Structure 1
Amino acid sequence: MKDYAEAWPYPRPDSPPLLSPEQAEQTLDVWLVPKFSMLTLFCMLEPLRVANRFGRNLFAWRLRSMDGKGVVASNGVCIDVNGDLASVPDDAHLMVVSSYEPEAEVTARERAVLRRLAAHGGWLGGLDTAPFILARAGVLEGCRVALHWESVPAFRREFPQLRVSRERFEADATRQTGAGGTAGIDMMLDRIARDYGPALADAVGRQLVHHRHEVSTDDERQVRYAGLPRSVVRSLAVMEANLAQALPIPEICRMVGQSQRQLARLFLAHFGETPKQCYLGMRLDRAQRLLAGSHCRVTEAAMATGFQQLTHFSRAYRARFSETPSQTAARGPS
């Protein structure tokens, strides 16, 4: 395979052209769902733009919306688009980009478009929370699914038949899903490497000042826990593994080999909270994700996060999020 990274000097004299679909070897259609993540969009497109600087007209892209009008991102910025979703051709490569409230404005009409592309063997992808949209359309069967870590509990509950990946992104011949944000860079570098070789992907990564990596959830957790005492890390891991059936703090102390007084001192020093307060917050955060991201009822969310009394759950939830569980659930997917 030709080494495109060295075939032409960098930068290319026209530095680089913004290509039309007729000029490029590949065209990516991107459906922007209202309140999409601007960071995710940019991280996905910039590797493709930079790849064009190495001597070949490789990539073009077209932005789509439901109605062909501009779309407002989660940061309030409106992005113009090139056309509506319905006009996407049958053989398109379509990437869906969403973030907050991914299905709030998606209707049966948009899901029908996704099914049409899938029926014609089209390539489909989704970033951040977009796998919810793809799964609801029934086009992810048999695929490993990667999505934003915060949405994983709700996704598993809503689609137990689908396999959720611990990776930043997953890709096969016709489907590609990812966690969003900077994971979009890794996803596109992987695509460049598959289609044109690792030399070009590495060169693009260097131009973006980005080291190619595929970090698993376990590795991300290690980075997040860096510098914490071992007993604190173990305690957090025990808590994360037991959100559905809350353990007494003395039992957690026994499991990690730390006295309750010493563990409390360490938690206060590092988090400003006692182990009990931290554990409660973790359970409530998961309950919020379930209520906001799925059709989970309030009683189900309470039971799934270890609350035996609904009044206790509602009171603690309101104290943390300044709204009731039912208010969060009302804004969930339609």
Structure 2
Amino acid sequence: MAYTSAVEPLRAANTLSGRNLYDWWHAAPGGGSVRASNGVTILTEVEVGALTRRADRVFVCAGGNPAGFDDPALSRWLRALSRAGATIGGISGGPYILARAGLLEGRRCTLHWEHVPAFEERYPEIEVVRSLFEIQGNRVTCSGGIAALDLMLNLIEADHGPGLAAGVGDWFLHNQIREGLSPQRMDLRLRLGVRDPRLLRALAAMESNLETPLPREALAAAAAVSVRQLERLFRTLMSTSLHAHYLDLRLDRAHQLRRESALAPAEIAATTGFASADELSRAERRRHRRSAARRGDDTGAA
């Protein structure tokens, strides 16, 4: 999605303007054809390391687990392209590759929210904002997904005016070009189907405090209710307990870090509020048993 959202607006700009405003090429480590995670194959035309093709902007589009990717040759090439005057960008997990190449030092950046926790652990000196995209001079970072469409529409507007950008957005049924500072994630009300403002305040406090979990009293204070009232809100509106929901958030983050980072088990445990890797493992096993038991009940009922 991120790749297509980045390339298709350029094609549309050429078509709608009747001019060849944009040309693009593909490169990848190892060259040849590259198979995307959805099975689509992209044929590369440029060899990593080549500086023979002019490039105004170079975007690194990456998914999967960018934390586990390390290619010194690619890093050298990106630095060389930057020295040659190209604007360097990263899309979705691409900013991870830029950071590894030393191209985000002293810069503010964004990347897909799923990669943010691991990125912040690996590069604490780089300021991360949870926006759709960031344009800072000759560095551009984008959170991915359809946010790449918004980024490209903004770049098309800067290059060729708002009329063409609006035309491209309209062609793709994208009737509102979002600004870079727009939030990445869906509002909690929509994401969790919760409308009660008291419960929403507590939920937001939980999501912001996974490394050092807040006590029930602090969450109740944030919600401006008593602990008993907050527990009742969770039971009534979330069909779970306050403790169980908070624990699930921390376990989900641990699972995400294990998948998206190279952090050691003890580091993952510390980052998600567990005293040790063993404590985290026990909590994960208990959740797995509960899930298995519920699936067994559902199967029996069927």
TM-score (norm 1): 0.77
The counterpart of 1:54, out of the listed 17, 27, 30, is 17
Q: How does 1:1-334 map to 2 (within 5 A)?
A: 39-52=1-14, 53-89=16-52, 91-92=54-55, 93-210=57-174, 211-214=176-179, 216-217=182-183, 220-221=186-187, 224=191, 227-318=194-285
Any conservation in 2 of the 1:73–1:79 contact (CA below 8 Å)?
A: yes
Answer yes or no: is the 8 Å Cα contact 1:189–1:205 preserved in 2. Answer: yes
Identity of aligned residues (%): 38
Point out where structure 1 has 5 or more consecutive residues left out of the alignment: 1-38, 323-334
Q: In the alignment, which residue of structure 1 is the partner of 2:299? A: none
For 1:188-242, what per-residue CA distance to the aligned partner results, in whole angstroms no more than 9, with x for missing partners?
0011011111121111111111120125338843553675211221111111222
Note the alpha carbon deviations across 1:252-292, whole angstroms, 9 max, x for none: 22431334454344434544432211111111222233333
Letter in 1 for 2:29: M
Alignment RMSD (CA, Å)? 2.4
In structure 2, relative to structure 1, the CA distance for the partners of 1:104 and 1:307 (3 Å cut) is closer
- Give the direction of change, closer, same or farther, for the CA distance of 1:262–1:294 in structure 2 (3 Å limit): same
Matching residue's letter, 1:303:
A
Letter in 1 for 2:201: R
AA aligned opposite 1:198: P
2:68 touches 2:262 (CA, 8 Å); kept in 1?
Answer: no
Quote how far apart the aligned CAs of 1:94 are.
1.2
Residue 292 of structure 2 corresponds to: none
- State the one-letter code of the partner of 1:70: S
Q: Alignment partner of 1:150: what SS?
A: coil
Contact 1:47 / 1:188 at 8 angstroms: preserved in 2? yes
Relative to 1, partners in 2 of residues 1:207 and 1:320: Cα closer, same or farther, differing over 3 Å? farther
Provide the C-alpha distance between the structure 2 equivalents of 1:105 and 1:254, rounded to a whole number of angstroms. 43
- Aligned residues, how many? 284
In structure 2, C-alpha distance between the alignment counterparts of 1:307 and 1:297, rounded to whole Å:
13
Q: Secondary structure of the equivalent of 1:42?
A: helix
Residue 328 of structure 1 aligns with which residue? none
Q: Is the 8 A contact 1:66 1:86 kept in 2?
A: no
Retained in 2: the 8 A contact 1:91–1:121? no
Shift of 1:317: 3.0
CA 1:141/1:90 → structure 2, altered by over 3 Å: closer, same or farther? farther
Q: Unaligned regions of 5+ residues in structure 2, if any?
A: 290-302
Q: Which amino acid aligns with 2:84?
A: H
Q: Greater shift after overlay, 94-103 or 301-310?
A: 301-310
Secondary structure of the residue aligned to 1:127 is strand
Deviation at 1:249, TM superposition (A): 2.7
Which letter does structure 2 place at the counterpart of 1:252?
A: L
SS in 1 for 2:66: coil
Q: Is the 8 A contact 1:64 1:81 kept in 2?
A: yes
8 A Cα contact 1:62 1:81, kept in partner: yes
Counterparts in 2 of 1:239 and 1:207: CA distance versus 1, 3 Å: same
Amino acid at match of 1:293: E
Cα distance change, pair 247–68 in 1 and its aligned pair in 2 (3 A) = same
Alpha-carbon distance change, 137 to 90 in structure 1, aligned in 2, over 3 angstroms: farther
Structure 1 residues 60 and 91, CA gap change in structure 2 (3 angstroms): closer
AA partner of residue 45 (structure 2): N
SS of 2:98's equivalent?
Answer: helix
Give, in whole Å, the separation in 1 of the partners of 2:288 and 2:125.
31
Residue aligned with 1:74, SS? coil
Aligned with 2:25: secondary structure? Answer: strand
**Alignment partners' CA distance in 2, 1:217 and 1:118:** 29
